[in-house]
């Protein structure tokens, strides 16, 4: 077991707990950068897809996992980011400017949308944001002159100074673009979490009443959370558009919103790791299913079986299983396994049992 | 001028009058207690100061500011800190993180600097950490520093809440039943702490408490309430022997 003997306050605000953690994450990043040399283009494409989902997951995690505001409308923000970026590019803005700008535009729109949503909480907020997700479909159709409407838009190869990056032509370069984006987003996210803003998000999630009594402005905090969350989701949307190459009003449907929310619940709410774990599940499950369908077909001696809606059925079952058996998600389970290993053989069964919460002060409002 | 002044404050919830024409002053540096039977309006008075409720009439002044002109989240910045009757901690955070939230009102940086964790943010965080450590030291919370709130016993949570309120560096500390649910030893600790908070830190304390032993040993003045109105005000002895107070608690003579 690692014991930290703390001798300075620096140790509590450090990015990495200790050298070992630094070493682990550094190796992970190096592995990620070396990945194109280790796997073929097909799996690299899948990996890129997973990382893009992880960016979107980080966006939603900030809002739902850390600020406690459920959103079923994040597909709308993916769409906004995607269209904002591609329309900017169409008008000749270069990637280096258009990409961050797409995030900022989406974040701004998210903040404006948050204003009426501030009065809602829990399931009502989820329903209101879901309406957003449905609405954006129509807006894309209505703004057809810019967005291409039903016939959709094509994503041109991205021009980065001297090189052209294209998901099909240069998958390795595109993978690196996505990787750099996610590393930067993750660092920013972790920085937010260890500073006052992140603490105010968590405070709003856990108890609005006492957050207010500590001087946290609830409305402003929620708006900031919406803005940052939507901004990051917008970046993911832009990447998603580049990845798929072509998209229209139906690409970012409500189903994507639900999938995003499922992803962070499965991964583990309230942790950066959770977004990554969830993205791995969501990203690889369709491939895994189609491969296993082949196996099943071979086993029963027939051709591959086609079951409509199998993917969503399996997603649903996985989600139910997690909610029943491991509400803390994959990351929560990993923490338990790690503690078990660290404390072996002294792990106790009840170690992660949460005491039932005591009566809360009669809720105001 | 008094630190906190209630002037003819009335709060109505529909037809129910929760606080009725209440006036009292809390002087700087004293320990002031609100007592009274359940439903007397003690916690409601706290919530009025925290600006969770909007009074129907009257004025509340704090340190020369008109409290009613401020939003709930601005009250802390004026120097008002409070605890809650049934702990309102941030359950899924560690003790340390809870106390650091207390420093929120002293925040100098904005979120842009925080995304990049600029040197200013680092300096501020180190300073916050230092302030919080002093409070941890004062309230003997060292063993719990990195523990999650969700796993802590009730008595410790009460102390963490007190610590979080102290971390804001307040002028007045409002304690809503600091001794409820505490053992005899823990109540004794609480008594010393309240005494030290007043004497060493020079913080004015306003508390709601049912434990008359604690009230009479730490409080300078006591205000007895019943049905939202003032019954008696004075030293603990005066209030305890006041016939109106005895009647409110025990019922009138047959």
> For the segment A25-43, what is each residue's pLDDT rounded down to a tens digit?
999 999 999 999 999 999 9
Q: Which residues of A touch B (CB under 8 A)?
A: 9-10, 12-13, 15, 188, 191-192, 194-200, 202-203, 205-207, 209-218, 224, 228, 270, 354-355, 357-361, 364
**Is the Cβ pair A203, B154 closer than 8 Å?**
no
Question: Distance from A284 to chain B by nearest Cα, in Å?
Answer: 31
Tokens of A11: 């140790």
Contact yes or no for B239/B251 (Cβ under 8 A): no
CB A204 within 8 A of CB A218: yes
Is A360 a residue whose pLDDT tops 50? no
Note which residues in 162-221 of chain B have CB less than 8 A from chain A.
164, 168
The residue that leads in pLDDT, A54 or A362, is A54
Contact A207 B89 (CB under 8 A): yes
Q: Searching chain B, which residue's CA lies closest to the CA of residue A225?
A: B111
pLDDT at B253: 58
Q: Look at residue B252 in the predicted model and tell me its pLDDT.
A: 65
| Angle (nearest 5°) at CA A321 between A316 and A323 | 95
- Tell whether the model's pLDDT for residue A61 goes beyond 50: yes
Which chain B residue lies closest to A197 (C-alpha atoms)? B111
Find chain A residues with C-beta within 8 A of B73's C-beta: 212, 215-218
- B212-227 b/e with 16+ CB inside 10 Å = b? bebbeebbebbbbbbe
DSSP state of B148: B
Residue A183: which of A97, A107, A74, A276 has the closest Cα? Answer: A276
Question: Going from the N-terminus, what domains does chain B have, and what CATH number goes with each?
Answer: 26-53+69-79+172-254 (3.40.50.300), 90-169 (no CATH)
Contacts A197 to B, Cβ<8 Å:
111, 114
Decide if pLDDT at A192 tops 50.
yes
Inspect the interface and report whether the beta carbons of B86 and A203 lie closer than 8 Å.
Answer: no
Residue A65: pLDDT band (50, 70, 90) is very high
Which DSSP letter does residue A64 get?
A: I
Q: Which residues of B touch A207 (CB under 8 A)?
A: 88-91
Q: Taking a C-beta distance cutoff of 8 angstroms, is the pair B100, B92 a contact?
A: no
Closest CA in chain A for residue B166: A214
Instruction: Grade residue A359 by pLDDT with cuts at 50, 70 and 90.
Output: very low
Q: Is the dihedral of CA A12, A13, A14, A15 positive or negative?
A: positive
Position A260 scores a pLDDT of 93
Q: In 3-state terms, what secondary structure has residue A8?
A: coil
Q: Give the pLDDT of residue A362.
A: 43
Nearest-by-CA chain A residue for B127? A9
Please indicate whether residue A69 or residue A17 has the higher confidence score (pLDDT): A69
Chain-wide mean pLDDT for chain A?
88
Position A291 pLDDT exceeds 70: yes
Over the stretch A143-178, which tens digit does the pLDDT of each residue have? Answer: 999 888 889 899 888 888 778 888 888 999 999 999
Q: Which of A202, A213, A357 sits opposite B82 (nearest CB)?
A: A213
Q: What is the pLDDT of residue A305?
A: 61
Judging by DSSP bridges, how do beta strands A158-160 and A163-165 pair with one another? antiparallel
In whole angstroms, what is the distance from residue B11 CA to residue B67 CA? 15
- Cβ contact, residue pair B104, A354, below 8 Å: no
User: Which residue from B minimizes the CA distance to A65?
Assistant: B92
Grade residue A363 by pLDDT with cuts at 50, 70 and 90.
very low
- pLDDT of res. A34: 96
pLDDT at A358: 46
Distance between first and last Cα of chain B: 43
pLDDT at A302: 64
ipTM for this model:
0.91
Structure tokens at A248: 């229209």
Candidates B47, B79, B117, partner chain A, best to mutate (most A CBs within 10 A): B117
Task: State the average pLDDT over residues A316-325.
Answer: 89
- At residue A290, the pLDDT reads 81
| Å between B80 CA and nearest CA of chain A | 8
Identify whether the C-beta of residue A155 lies closer than 8 Å to the C-beta of residue A247: yes
Question: What distance in Å separates the CA atoms of residue A251 and residue A137, rounded to the nearest whole number?
Answer: 9
pLDDT by residue (tens digit) across A249-273?
A: 889 988 899 999 999 999 999 999 9
Look at residue A354 in the predicted model and tell me its pLDDT.
Answer: 60
Give chain B positions within 8 Å (CB) of A188: 115-116
| Sequential DSSP letters for A208-252 | HHHHHHTT--HHHHHHHHHHHHHHHHHHHHHHHHHHHSEE-TTTT
Contacts of B174 in chain A (CB under 8 A): none
Give the pLDDT confidence score for residue B247 in this predicted structure.
Answer: 85
For chain B (length 254 residues), average pLDDT per consecutive 10?
Answer: 92 91 94 91 93 94 93 93 91 93 92 93 94 95 91 91 95 94 93 94 94 92 92 92 86 62
**Contact list, B171 vs chain A (CB under 8 Å):** none
Contacts of B150 in chain A (CB under 8 A): 354-355, 357
Interface contact B111-A9, CB threshold 8 A: no
Residue A364: band (very low, low, confident or very high) from pLDDT cuts 50, 70, 90:
very low
């Amino acid at each position: 077991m690692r014991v930290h003997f703390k001798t300075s306050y620096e140790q509590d605000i450090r990015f990495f707990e200790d050298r070992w953690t630094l070493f682990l994450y550094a190796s992970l990043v190096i592995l990620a950068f070396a990945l194109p040399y280790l796997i073929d283009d097909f799996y690299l494409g899948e990996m890129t897809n997973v990382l893009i989902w992880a960016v979107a997951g980080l966006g939603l995690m900030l809002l739902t996992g850390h600020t406690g505001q459920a959103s079923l409308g994040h597909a709308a923000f993916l769409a906004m980011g995607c269209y904002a970026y591609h329309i900017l590019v169409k008008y000749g803005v270069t990637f280096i400017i258009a990409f961050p700008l797409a995030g900022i535009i989406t974040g701004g729109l998210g903040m404006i949308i948050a204003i009426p949503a501030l009065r809602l909480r829990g399931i009502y907020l989820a329903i209101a944001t879901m309406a957003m997700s449905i609405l954006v479909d129509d807006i894309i159709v209505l703004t057809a002159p810019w967005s291409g409407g039903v016939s959709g838009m094509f994503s041109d190869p991205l021009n980065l100074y001297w090189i052209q990056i294209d998901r099909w032509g240069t998958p390795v370069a595109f993978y690196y673009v996505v990787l750099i984006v996610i590393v930067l987003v993750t660092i920013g996210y972790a920085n937010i979490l260890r500073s006052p803003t992140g603490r105010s998000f968590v405070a709003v999630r856990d108890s609005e009443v006492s957050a207010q009594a500590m001087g946290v402005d609830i409305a402003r905090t929620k708006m900031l959370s919406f803005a940052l969350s939507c901004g990051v989701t917008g970046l993911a949307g832009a990447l998603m558009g580049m990845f798929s190459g072509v998209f229209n009003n139906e690409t970012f449907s409500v189903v994507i919103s639900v999938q995003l929310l499922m992803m962070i619940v499965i991964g583990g709410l309230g942790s950066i790791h959770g977004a990554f774990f969830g993205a791995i599940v969501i990203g690889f499950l369709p491939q895994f299913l189609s491969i296993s369908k082949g196996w099943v077909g071979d086993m029963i001696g027939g051709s591959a079986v086609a079951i409509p809606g199998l993917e969503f059925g399996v997603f649903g079952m996985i989600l139910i299983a997690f909610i029943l058996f491991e509400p803390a998600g994959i990351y929560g389970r990993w923490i338990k396994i790690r503690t078990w290993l660290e404390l072996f053989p002294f792990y106790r069964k009840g170690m992660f049992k949460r005491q039932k919460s005591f009566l809360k002060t009669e809720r105001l409002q | 001028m008094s630190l906190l002044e209630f002037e003819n404050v009335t709060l109505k919830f529909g037809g129910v009058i929760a606080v009725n024409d209440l006036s009292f002053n809390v002087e700087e540096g004293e320990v002031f207690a609100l007592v009274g039977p359940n439903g007397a309006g003690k916690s409601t008075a706290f919530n009025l100061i925290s600006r969770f409720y909007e009074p129907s009439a009257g004025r509340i002044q704090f340190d020369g500011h008109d409290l009613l002109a401020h939003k709930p989240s601005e009250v802390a910045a004026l120097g008002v800190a409070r605890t809650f009757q049934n702990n309102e901690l941030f359950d899924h955070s560690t003790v340390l993180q809870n106390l650091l939230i207390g420093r929120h009102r002293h925040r100098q940086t904005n979120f842009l600097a925080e995304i990049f964790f600029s040197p200013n943010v680092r300096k501020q965080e180190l300073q916050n950490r230092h302030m919080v450590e002093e409070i941890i030291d004062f309230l003997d919370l060292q063993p719990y520093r990195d523990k999650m709130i969700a796993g802590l016993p009730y008595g410790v949570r009460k102390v963490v809440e007190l610590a979080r309120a102290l971390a804001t560096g307040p002028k007045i500390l409002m304690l809503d039943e600091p001794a409820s649910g505490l053992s005899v030893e823990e109540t004794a600790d609480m008594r010393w702490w309240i005494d030290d908070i007043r004497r060493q830190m020079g913080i004015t304390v306003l508390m709601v408490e049912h434990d008359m032993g604690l009230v009479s040993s730490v409080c300078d003045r006591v205000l007895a309430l019943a049905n939202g109105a003032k019954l008696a005000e004075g030293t603990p002895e005066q209030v305890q022997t006041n016939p109106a107070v005895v009647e409110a608690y025990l019922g009138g003579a047959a």
